Structure 1
Amino acid sequence: MEVTFRHVTADDFALIGRWLAEPHVERWWAHEWSPEAIERDFGPTLRGEEPAEDLIASAYGRPIGLCQRSFWYAYPDEVEEFAPYLDVPRDAMTIDYLLGEPADVGQGLGTALIRDLATDTFAAHPGCGVLLVPVNAGNPASWRALEKAGFRFVAHARAEPDNPIDPPDHRVYRFDRP
């Protein structure tokens, strides 16, 4: 099974909002899902005002998830937050991901999505030499999927969590350009 990616369009906003409202997504993304919040948070990337990419992941002929990627140095505050714990090379990018449908969780799709997103990121961004991905330490499903996709654990870090109910403990994973 291959996971493919395309850039988010405004037509995807309702789907993204529905996914963000799913309990298994809301727990880790802690994101508002009203139409106004989706436009506010995903519109700038769509219009090229944000130095990141939002992507819809598809498999089996249907959308399965949302992915994001960006160069670390496009967000200096995040580099500064993680720099005490690991070297963040100038050519490093990060990814984020979610599976939207509850029925897709636990089926191996997360690992496939991460593996294929890494391959797609290196192909789309020749200047990217490494992926560094921080994951909340309390989310073992996510960091295990990274490990199964070939990422290796490189650091413990303390950083602002996506969900304010979580402690700041993160595990950071690395995948070098093949």
Structure 2
Amino acid sequence: MTGILTYSFRRVTADDLALLATWQSQPHVRRWWDADAPYEAEDLADPKVARWIVSLTDRPFAFMQDYTVHGWDDHHFAGLPQGSRGIDQFIGEPEMIGCGHGSAFIKQRMKALFEDGAPVIATDPHPDNEMAIAVYKKLGFKPLGPTQDTRWGLILPMAAKR
């Protein structure tokens, strides 16, 4: 990847559910993402979570979501300041992996979340997902403590401050 690329983020709609299911069925996504629970139209109405299709030059290639960390009882990030956001994402198109797109679009979305007032952005990769952890560290995330077993699985809690 050369130069500075701008990614577009548009809200996921019911028309995107088949695309998300296809991406979630990819082995590189299934390894880290719960592909047995595809998104349904009702999921898109949840006001706690903003779900995005990420595109480059009008080509959709990734999924990203950001959410309020205070939207669930006993969430592992509930101790973060009010307004903090959590993020999760995956690149759905295999040929787009390893080209720098992940760190670039995450950085772009982080900038927007910080500009919108989020004091902290948190993420929770699986502790064995070394590639994701390296990307997050590159973007300024630091571990918040040891790995945890949560209702969403085994995680390494990480956060970046504005």
TM-score if structure 2 supplies the norm length?
Answer: 0.86
| 2:62 counterpart of 1:65 | yes
> Alpha-carbon deviation of 1:11?
1.3
Q: Quick check: 1:112–1:149 contact (8 Å CA) kept in 2?
A: no
Residue 159 of structure 2 is aligned to residue 174 of structure 1: yes
1:100 to 85, 92, 106: 92
Distance of 2:30 and 2:61 partners within structure 1: 16
Kindly indicate whether the alpha-carbon contact (under 8 Å) linking 1:45 and 1:54 is maintained by their aligned counterparts in 2.
Answer: no
Partner of 2:19: 15
Instruction: Name the CA distance, whole Å, in 2 between partners of 1:74 and 1:101.
Output: 30
List runs of 5+ in structure 1 lacking aligned partners. Answer: none
2-side partners of 1:112 and 1:137: how far apart?
A: 22
The answer to whether the 8 Å contact 1:4/1:59 transfers is: yes
State the aligned residue count.
158
Q: Give the letter for the 2:147 counterpart.
A: A
2:53 and 2:134 map into 1 onto residues whose CA distance is 22
Aligned to 2:44: 46
Rounded Cα–Cα distance in structure 1 between residues aligned with 2:57 and 2:140: 23
Identity over aligned pairs, percent: 28
Gaps of 5+ in 2: none
Do structure 1's residue 5 and structure 2's residue 3 form an aligned pair? no
Compare 95-104 and 147-156 and name the one that shifted more: 147-156
CA RMSD of superposed structures (Å): 2.0
CA contact (8 A) 2:127 2:147 kept: no
Aligned equivalent of 1:109, options 101, 104, 110: 101
Asked if residue 118 in structure 1 is aligned to residue 118 in structure 2, the reply is: no
Q: Residue 95 of structure 1 aligns to a residue in which SS?
A: strand
Residue type matched to 2:84 in 1? A
- 8 A contact 1:70–1:94 mirrored in 2: yes
